[in-house]
Amino acid sequence: MSRSPVSSRFARVTRRSVLALAFRTAAAAEKTAQAPDSLVFCAYNVKNWLLMDRFEGGAVVQKASKPEPEKAAVIGILKTIAPDVLGLSEIGGESDLKEIQSRLKKAGIDLPQWELTHGGDLNRSLGLLSRFPISSRQSITDLTYTINGQVFPVQRGFLDVTVQPRPGFSLRCIGVHLKSMREVPEADQEVMRRNEAGLLRKHLSAILDADPATPILLYGDFNEHRHEPPIKAIQGSRTGLNFMEDLRIVDVNGQTWTHYWEAADSYSRLDYFFLSRALKPLVDKQRSYIFHSDDFDKASDHRPIVVSLNLPVTMTGN
């Protein structure tokens, strides 16, 4: 018995629909299989990767770049760490960030996505390089505060991007480099840093008030000791939904310092990761650490800090 034209067309449409569904299902399965199950984030103050006056060969050289041996040492350290996302401080402009990006690619680490931001200090910027797509950008460059009637800018601004390492999961990355401990004639450096910390806390609270389930990784050079008021202000109330947990990590020797000040022969912990409540369960503490090598200071006066995250299969974040 022959089929009717209508039945034949229906059969062809059905076969096409089944094949299309099978193709989409296979493509989705392949995409899921290719999606990473972990993410390595490194935060690193690379010590003046920018143009500045430097003392070289017994003379001052104006607008000189970071010396080549120091650059090579930075890239060597990062090659060892092999980050998926890299948060940088103390870099210059876009050309400096792209130089680091290019050198890393030659070393086998391809981080094509990038963000660069600054505050009132136009010479030192914050940068971020990522293997994963940046789905949104919320960096802030124009925040100010007042001390004794004088208006000051947040010197390096706040770098703020959302990275999407796999379907269904987004990570909010917020990078900072607070006012240095160097004394300045305009105001008390401690009070300046406390004001910057207060503005950062407001920014964090605004995000978490809107969605307490947002996975936030706050990182950078905070130029402050753990027990001081700026750190406590940034963390917020320990019992509140918006609390930011200090991720306590150590190096291979069990030590926590991240910065060495040669002039004072002083070791301090100035670089931190802070985690929102939604992000804390994803941290792989065993694979999170402070990088150490005997010649770390050939690259920078800071040591990089590293956090490893176990990515959920499905989760929504801002």
Q: In terms of residue numbers, what domain contains 12?
A: 1-34
Determine, yes or no, domain membership for 246: yes
* Euclidean distance between CA atoms 151 and 142, whole angstroms: 12
Residues 26 and 138 in one domain: no
Percent of the chain with pLDDT over 90: 84
pLDDT for position 34 = 67
Which residues are registered as beta bridge partners of 302? 259
Determine, yes or no, domain membership for 316: no
For the entire predicted model, the pTM comes to 0.88
Is 285:248 a contact under the CB 8 Å cutoff? no
DSSP 5-37: HHHHHHHHHHHHHHHHHHHHHHHHHHHHHHS-S
Closest by Cα among 126, 108, 109, 110 to 118: 126
Residues 52 and 194 in one domain: yes
What phi and psi values does residue 74 have, to the nearest 5 degrees?
A: -60, -50
* Secondary structure E strands in 99-198: 113-117, 125-130, 134-137, 144-147, 150-153, 159-166, 169-177
Residues 29 and 120 in one domain: no
Residues 16 and 96 in one domain: no
Identify the residue with better confidence: 111 or 30: 111
Is 160:140 a contact under the CB 8 Å cutoff? yes
pLDDT for position 178 = 97
pLDDT band at 249 (very low <50, low <70, confident <90, very high): very high
